[in-house]
Amino acid sequence: MQVPAYSQAPRAPEPTQGDRFVAPESIAECATFRDAVCLAWELRAVRGMTQRTLAELLDVPASHLSNMLNRDPVDRHGKPRQDLPAKLIADFERVVGNRAVSQYLARMAMLTLMEEVIQQRAAMK
**Residue 78: which region, alpha, beta or left (left: phi > 0; alpha: psi -120 to 50)?**
left
If you ran DSSP here, which 8-state letter would residue 60 be given? S
Q: Has residue 11 got a pLDDT over 60?
A: no
Is residue 12 in some structural domain? Answer: no
Kindly state whether residue 29 falls inside one of the protein's structural domains: yes
Mean pLDDT of 2-29: 63
Tell me whether residue 36 is in a domain. yes
Burial grade of 17 (CB within 10 A; 0-12, 13-18, 19 or more): exposed
Task: Write out the residue range of the structural domain in which residue 52 sits.
Answer: 23-124
Please tell me the predicted confidence (pLDDT) of residue 5.
41
- Whether residue 13 is contained in a domain is answered as no
CA 70 to chain CA centroid, nearest Å: 12
Write out pLDDT tens, residues 72-116: 999 999 999 999 999 999 999 999 999 999 999 999 999 888 888
Average of per-residue pLDDT across 10-20: 52
- Report which of 65, 85, 69, 62 is spatially closest to residue 34, judged by C-alpha positions: 69
Overall number of domains in the chain: 1
